[in-house]
Amino acid sequence: MSNTADVIIIGAGVIGAAVAFELAKTGKKTLTVDRNSQVGHGSTAGSCACIRMHYSTFDGTAFAWEGFHYWRDWPEYLELSGDTPLSRFVQTGCLVMKSESNGFLVNHMENSRRLDCPYEDWSAETIAERLPLYNLESFTPPRAADDPLFGKSNGKRITGGVYWPNGGYVTDPALSAQNLADAARAYGAQFRMGVEVDQILTKAGCVSGVRLVGGEELHAPVVVNVAGPASCKINAMADVLDDMTITTRALRQEVVHVPAPEGYDFEKDGMMVSDSDISLYCRPEHGNHILIGSEDPECDPHQWVEDDKVYNREFTEQWTTQAMRYGQRVPSLGIPQKTRGIVDLYDASTDWLPIYDKSSLPGYYMACGSSGNQYKNAPIAGKLMASLVEYCESGNDHDTRPLQFNLPYINHTIDAGFYSRKRPINMESSFSVIG
């Protein structure tokens, strides 16, 4: 395998593999490096792989609505042979409970309306009909299990929700990254697994490649950091942090898997639900289980991790808190003694929106801060990064004249400066994710 390329990509998760695929399709010779032994075996493997369209920002909504179409048309997008095992998109729909904290979804509905993204405004009666196991009492504000008021209704009720029928989830997130890598290889992309970057190389003030642990050097005039929870360390190696108003950190998360209540087929009749009243999201999981994640309320303290290779991988009391909080909504839920689920890391940015951008080091690019909120956008994020590399390497200044990027399925153009490393903190962000 050659130690030179047109582009070196650091990270073989779902977005890194999508970047490789989209760059390879433009004729670039790409080389992707990852410290894991297999493609997709970093934080992508721990993703809940939720596909949703609702966002609090208009640009975020447009990007996610565009992203849905690639999962819907997954085999056609990949162009792989018919005998290749593929990940599968399950379209359950996504219900979001209206609450004061999300502005009763007025902005979300308006964003979808402007983009012709289908949604349905559901009454409480419709929710009860579609999810008969749900108790629609209100419990906000969300509380930890040791709070004396935990489990007590505030005397109000959920008034309704908004249902996006095109929402759902992908069955095997690691396989989806492997699908993208296979598609990239068909265009000549190369992957080096089980190797770790130790240094970003520069020459004459520009990036020139990477040095691996052990001393081997790989050379390219373009390097793209898609290292997930390790992205902040890679950016520090590249010495590009000084002009960034938005940075990234690794955040530990726990996701609960519990059996559906006896007699109810949640895998068949359930759906993805975002419930800010109890600050949890859930979706069906195979084997008639329910996957439950936190939407990061104040009662769930953030667990920032300094070293993305060394952190507590065991379940804590947070597992029990999430399971019991969901039990407020589903009183028939049984909470097993044996804990099951996922402990993994997010690559979280300052305002929980991703960075898709160039950097202060010519030739060095970033697709960072994406964990928990961008799995669904991996294909279109790959297209954006490929276009950004071409735009900047052709001599354009993305900082002063941002790339105007067309979303081909929905025929809408976004200002890619929305994802700038230099942006002000976006106060329209929900500062939470459905991971």
Phi/psi zone of residue 42: left (φ > 0), alpha (ψ -120 to 50 degrees), beta?
beta
Domains of the chain (ranges plus CATH)? 7-84+172-247+352-419 (3.50.50.60), 91-168+248-349 (3.30.9.10)
- Cα 50 to Cα 118, 167, 270: the distances in Å are 17, 8, 14
Those residues with Cβ within 8 angstroms of residue 39's Cβ, 6 or more apart along the chain or in another chain: 12, 17, 174, 177, 178, 181, 191, 193
Which residues of 196-308 form beta strands (DSSP E)? 197-203, 206-212, 217-219, 222-225, 248-259, 272-275, 280-285, 289-294, 303-305
H-helix or E-strand containing 358?
strand 355-358
**Single-letter residue type at 213:** V
Those residues with Cβ within 8 angstroms of residue 427's Cβ, 6 or more apart along the chain or in another chain: 351
Q: Which of 267, 263, 268, 282 is nearest to 326 (CA)?
A: 282
**Single-letter residue type at 42:** G
Q: Centre a 10 Å sphere on the Cβ of residue 68 and count the other Cβ atoms it contains.
A: 24
Cα angle 365, 371, 373; round to 5: 105
pLDDT 10s per residue in the chain (435 long)?
679 999 999 999 999 999 999 999 999 999 999 999 999 999 999 999 999 999 888 999 999 999 999 999 999 999 998 899 999 999 999 999 999 999 999 999 999 999 999 999 999 999 999 999 999 999 999 999 899 999 999 999 999 999 999 999 999 999 999 999 999 999 999 999 999 999 999 999 999 999 999 999 999 999 999 999 999 999 999 999 999 999 999 999 999 999 999 999 999 999 999 999 999 999 999 999 999 999 999 999 999 999 999 999 999 999 999 999 999 999 999 999 899 999 999 999 999 899 999 999 999 999 999 877 799 999 999 999 999 999 999 999 999 999 999 999 999 999 999 999 999 996 665 555 665
Those residues with Cβ within 8 angstroms of residue 350's Cβ, 6 or more apart along the chain or in another chain: 245, 246, 247, 248, 369, 425
The pTM (predicted TM-score) of the whole model is: 0.96
Euclidean distance between the first and the last CA atom of the chain, given in angstroms as a whole number: 36
Structure tokens given for 129: 């009909």
Buried b (16+ CB within 10 A) or exposed e, 275-311: bbbbbbbbbbbeebbbbbbbbbbebbeeeebeebeeb
